[in-house]
A = this chain, B = another copy of it.
Amino acid sequence: MGEEYRIAHQVDRLMRRINVSLHQRIRPIDVDRLGPLGTMVLDVLADIEPAPIQKLNQKMARDKSQMTRTIKLLESKKLIVRDPSPEDGRTGILSLTPKGRTFVQEVRRAMSELMREVLEPITPEQREQLLELLKQL
């Protein structure tokens, strides 16, 4: 094709749409003011907990220092807890608190609703296809 850059444009545009809509939908339920990043970190962590910080970093593809700050915020709001790792004294194992889990449920409800709107132009089979393609990347 030689126009691979077009995929980058489309991904950017899609991500922007998702972020803007998500921001609007999340605000009323984001009583702890985690912001979009804090919300997403919690959401991603919910899939992999209990998990060392490093694993969360990989999934989020942000840099370490940013994750440090976000984790600290989530801890201070009592949404996650950090336990020492028995294997590696340098790292911590993150888990959600009950409060964190409840919030993630709300976030996912809002997010799935939003994504259903965004994905409305394509069929359920195409959605599966899209998810599979993205997972491979």
Given contacts A16-B62, A61-B20, contact A5 B122 (CB under 8 A): no
Residues of A within 8 A of B (CB): 1-18, 20, 22, 40, 43-44, 47, 59-62, 108, 111-112, 114-116, 118-119, 121-122, 124, 126-131, 133-137
18 residue pairs of the A-B complex, CB under 8 angstroms, read A1-B124, A3-B112, A4-B115, A5-B108, A7-B134, A8-B115, A9-B43, A9-B59, A10-B134, A10-B137, A11-B15, A13-B60, A13-B61, A14-B134, A16-B62, A17-B137, A20-B61, A129-B129
Main secondary structure of the interface of A (DSSP, over half): helix
Complex Cα distance, B99 from A89, in Å, reads 54
